[in-house]
């Protein structure tokens, strides 16, 4: 039985709290053992405390002991496809590795990327170098 990540991300999007941006996002993160964790964006009046849907799904999975992931699907209500923010890209790389990222909008647009495409030089131990190195 195939898991419909887009449907689950769309459902999660409906729970978003976005009174300031009116930009609702839903995410569905698939573990390697077939479990799905969903998330929605949750805005706050201070903006700095706002959390993206991708991070909510990831933090839920991690807090439940999951450490291996296969794919994340992200659904937004923008007319153009919207990529994850820099913070989400970094956390996806750090905790999920080079997983597949499916980006969807409500108008039927779909794109597939790998985290490495979205964050080609992530902050991790593999990207430290000596001064003067190229």
Catalytic residues: 54
Residues 6+ apart with CB under 8 A from 81: 103, 104, 105, 109, 110, 111
80 in Cβ contact with 109 (< 8 Å): yes
Q: What CA–CA distance (Å, rounded) separates 40 from 30?
A: 15
Phi, psi of 117 (to 5 degrees): -70, -35
- Nearest Cα to Cα of residue 26 among 35, 34, 38, 17: 38
DSSP state of 33: T
Q: What CA–CA distance (Å, rounded) separates 31 from 89?
A: 17
């Amino acid at each position: 039985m195939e898991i419909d990540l887009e449907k689950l991300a769309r459902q999660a999007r409906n729970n978003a709290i976005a009174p300031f941006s009116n930009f609702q996002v839903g995410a569905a993160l698939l573990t390697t053992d077939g479990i799905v964790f969903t998330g929605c964006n949750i805005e706050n009046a201070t903006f700095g405390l706002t959390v993206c849907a991708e991070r909510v799904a990831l933090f839920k999975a991690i807090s439940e002991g999951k450490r291996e992931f296969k794919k994340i699907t992200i659904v937004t209500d923008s007319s153009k496809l919207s990529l994850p923010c820099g913070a989400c890209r970094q956390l996806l790389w750090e905790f999920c590795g080079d997983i597949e990222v499916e980006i969807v909008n409500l108008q039927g647009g779909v794109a597939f990327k790998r985290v490495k495409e979205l964050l080609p030089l992530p902050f991790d131990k593999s990207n430290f170098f000596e001064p003067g190195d190229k």
